[in-house]
Amino acid sequence: MNRFRPYFRYLAAVRGPIAAAIGCGLLYGAASGAGLPLLVKNVFPRIFQPGPEALPFLQVALVAAYIPAIFALRALSGYLNGYFTQLAGVRVLEALRLDYFRQLQALPLSFVQGKRTGDLMSRGLADTQQLQYSLTLLANDGIKQPATLVSALAAVAYLAATSEGVWLALVCLAAVPLTVFPVRYVGKKVIRRAAQVQAQLGGVSGQFAENLAASREVRAFGLEERESNRFAAACRELVTSQMKIVKYAQALTPAIEVISAMGIAVTLLYAYQGGLKLETFIALITALYSSYEPVKKLGALNNELKRGTAALDRLEVILREPIHLADPAQPVPVDRLRGDLAFREVSFSYPGHPPALRDVTVSLPAGTVCALVGPSGAGKSTFAQLVPRFHDVDAGVISVDDHDVRQLRLQDLRRNIALVPQDPVLFHDTIRANLLVGRAGATEAEVEQAAKDAFAHDFIRQLPQGYDTVVGERGATLSGGQRQRLALARAFLRDAPILILDEATSALDSESESFIQAALRKLIVGRTVLIIAHRFSTLRDATRILVFEAGRVVGEGTHESLHAGNALYRSLFDRQSEGLGPR
């Protein structure tokens, strides 16, 4: 119970439905635990009184009416309890998933990229579903079943006080604690298996997402059979673990029923020796049965709480991960920045990896078009990603217009930066909605002008619904060149003073590249530009070049000065010029 206490705040938002569910649960418990035994004790003997003591038919009908009344009360309260519990449950699930999703948005890229996409999805969907079920079941059966048990035991106590055979009641009560042992044993088994099942479910989801993301490669390399076999093996392992939980959980009810039967048998022997009246004995047996039923439900609740604990452990890996990229307590107010960039003795490393940048000191005045050059893994992309504060530096300071980026609100900083990645991602939405990502609230005329500047307007108008065409997941219905032009249109629409280009033409055909190059020459005017250069043909527009090697800046200047005086730059440039380097 204490494990879930911090998460009861989710129930506070639905306290109305929860209160209604609890009230109905208490009523259900009273009607089930005490109502049924007392019904047996007081109604049946009055109906079947022999001889001259028999009641007239009208009175019998009135007495018999207690039976549907009790069951109607029990049915209505049970229904309303279940309804209000489910209402609270779906709202709890919504809040849980929203908090999880918001946490993912706030965590640094290095954390998110270090996890499998399918596993993150499984935690946000399957684990939140399990936790929601556990919390609402606790709110439901955690009240209803104890109320039923207490009512049943109260009925036993009442029958003992009003009838002969107090020792018989004690025998009945003595059997109840014995049911704790199978509950505890099964609970220990379930919690170990539940954690394993949740982890394996994340693995299955991860394989599923990975396969869908690599569908082209799977077909190109003929991996269909291999992927099917891998997925089948993961599913078999998951089923094996799930069935182990089922084995223990399903054993609980028979174990409690055997103990219940033993209690009833002993009670029957005492009733025979004590000369107990039949109606009293039947009432006691009904009360005894009514007490064992909630014990079984509480045992099942205990198992579900164990599963909820396993789901919670996986969710807390995300929910409790510290958010380092938070807004400062007292941010420096800024509007549009000039674009002066400065790195002062900056060092950074990804978790579990060697430093990606080491003591980098660079100053880039506003309007500088700077190309970042170096071998793969030298630190070029990391250098660019630190400017919009996708990560925080380990040491040193990055400033924009003499403001430490950590002293600016993330929204203010990133509003002044436009990013055109090498492989732009488009959302499963219309072209217009994808362009408005650049600047929400832009007018129709501004959207079309941005598309024209990116040489995208003509092909957009040729699409079936024009700007209202849905582009599919990640822009799957468009060509690579079309996606790049839409990414450039976003940048035009954003009109930010700082622009980051991750080699926007590296994988395009010559026609698309010519359009993009023309758009880029227009886009970079008057901005501070960082170009992550994979191909040296993009250096023609750069006014400054930084050469990276093993996380350090080992050269800076113009193409002519670096080619003459920097051996690494000359080697990289000459190899690519000779057609030996990557394209």
Q: Which CATH number characterizes residue 471's domain?
A: 3.40.50.300
For the segment 176-204, what is each residue's pLDDT rounded down to a tens digit? Answer: 566 556 656 665 666 667 666 767 766 77
Cβ atoms < 10 Å from Cβ of 318: 20
Quick one: pLDDT at residue 580? Answer: 43
* pLDDT band of 104, cuts 50, 70, 90: confident
Angle at 329 between CA 323 and CA 331, to 5 degrees: 110
Q: Is the pLDDT of residue 223 over 90?
A: no
Same domain, 312 and 237: yes
Q: Is the pLDDT of residue 165 over 60?
A: no
Number of domains in the chain: 3
Query: Which domain range does residue 303 map to?
Result: 2-319
Same domain, 407 and 424: no
Same domain, 438 and 580: no
Distance in angstroms (rounded) separating the CA atoms of residues 444 and 69: 66
Distance in angstroms (rounded) separating the CA atoms of residues 389 and 413: 8
**Domain end position, chosen among 294, 319, 344:** 319
Q: Is the pLDDT of residue 363 over 50?
A: yes
517 domain residue, yes or no: no
Q: Most confidently modeled of 4-13, 112-121, 299-308, 482-491?
A: 482-491
Distance in angstroms (rounded) separating the CA atoms of residues 155 and 161: 10
Residue type, 372: L
- What does the pLDDT average to over 205-224? 68
399 domain residue, yes or no: yes
For the segment 412-459, what is each residue's pLDDT rounded down to a tens digit? Answer: 998 999 988 878 888 888 889 889 988 888 899 999 999 998 888 888
How far is CA 381 from each of CA 349, 375, 392, 422, rounded to the nearest angstrom?
A: 13, 11, 14, 11
Q: Most confidently modeled of 180-194, 250-264, 482-496?
A: 482-496
Same domain, 130 and 180: yes
Same domain, 274 and 410: no
Quick one: pLDDT at residue 513? Answer: 67
Same domain, 412 and 466: no
With CA atoms as reference, report the closest residue to 259 among 303, 302, 299.
299
279 domain residue, yes or no: yes
Quick one: pLDDT at residue 581? Answer: 44
Query: Which positions ≥6 away from 137 have C-beta within 8 Å?
Result: 85, 301, 304, 305
**Domain end position, chosen among 319, 354, 387:** 319
Q: Is the pLDDT of residue 25 over 80?
A: no
Same domain, 92 and 187: yes
Same domain, 411 and 422: no
Quick one: pLDDT at residue 387? Answer: 93
Query: Which positions ≥6 away from 176 have C-beta within 8 Å?
Result: 153, 263, 291, 292, 295
Quick one: pLDDT at residue 322? Answer: 80
Same domain, 387 and 442: no
510 domain residue, yes or no: no
Q: Is the pLDDT of residue 80 over 90?
A: no
69 domain residue, yes or no: yes
525 domain residue, yes or no: no
Q: Are 384 and 500 in contact (CB under 8 A)?
A: yes
Within 13 Å and on the Cβ side, how many CA atoms surround 357? 28
Q: Is the pLDDT of residue 59 over 80?
A: no
Distance in angstroms (rounded) separating the CA atoms of residues 40 and 246: 36
Distance in angstroms (rounded) separating the CA atoms of residues 369 and 542: 5
Q: Are 229 and 280 in contact (CB under 8 A)?
A: no
247 domain residue, yes or no: yes
Quick one: pLDDT at residue 372? Answer: 93
Quick one: pLDDT at residue 100? Answer: 84
* pLDDT band of 549, cuts 50, 70, 90: very high
Phi-psi region of 386 (alpha: psi -120 to 50; beta: other; left: phi over 0): alpha
For the segment 509-532, what is each residue's pLDDT rounded down to a tens digit? Answer: 555 667 777 888 888 888 999 998
Q: In 275-405, at which residue ranges do the beta strands (DSSP E only) sit?
A: 341-349, 355-364, 369-373, 395-400, 403-404
* pLDDT band of 284, cuts 50, 70, 90: low
Rg of the Cα atoms in the chain: 35
3-state secondary structure of 529: strand
Quick one: pLDDT at residue 511? Answer: 59
Q: Are 118 and 305 in contact (CB under 8 A)?
A: no
Q: Most confidently modeled of 148-162, 206-220, 506-520?
A: 148-162
Q: Is the pLDDT of residue 60 over 90?
A: no
Distance in angstroms (rounded) separating the CA atoms of residues 205 and 314: 14
Same domain, 487 and 557: no
Burial of 465 (0-12, 13-18, 19+ CB in 10 A): exposed
Distance in angstroms (rounded) separating the CA atoms of residues 165 and 524: 96
Quick one: pLDDT at residue 383? Answer: 94
Q: Is the pLDDT of residue 10 over 50?
A: yes
CATH code for the domain of 88: 1.20.1560.10
- What does the pLDDT average to over 272-289? 67
Same domain, 344 and 246: no
513 domain residue, yes or no: no
Bridge partners of 341?
364, 400
Q: Is the pLDDT of residue 327 over 60?
A: yes
Q: Which of 116-120, 281-285, 356-360 has the lowest mean pLDDT?
A: 281-285
Q: Are 303 and 190 in contact (CB under 8 A)?
A: yes
Q: Which of 12-16, 277-281, 470-474 has the lowest mean pLDDT?
A: 277-281
Q: What is the mean pLDDT of the chain?
A: 78
**277 versus 567: which is more confidently predicted?**
567
Same domain, 296 and 444: no
**Domain end position, chosen among 285, 319, 353:** 319
Quick one: pLDDT at residue 582? Answer: 42
* pLDDT band of 106, cuts 50, 70, 90: confident
Quick one: pLDDT at residue 473? Answer: 75
With CA atoms as reference, report the closest residue to 541 among 510, 489, 501, 485.
501
Distance in angstroms (rounded) separating the CA atoms of residues 457 and 289: 75
Quick one: pLDDT at residue 357? Answer: 94
| SS3 annotation, 15-48 | HHHHHHHHHHHHHHHHHHHHHHHHHHHHCHHHHC
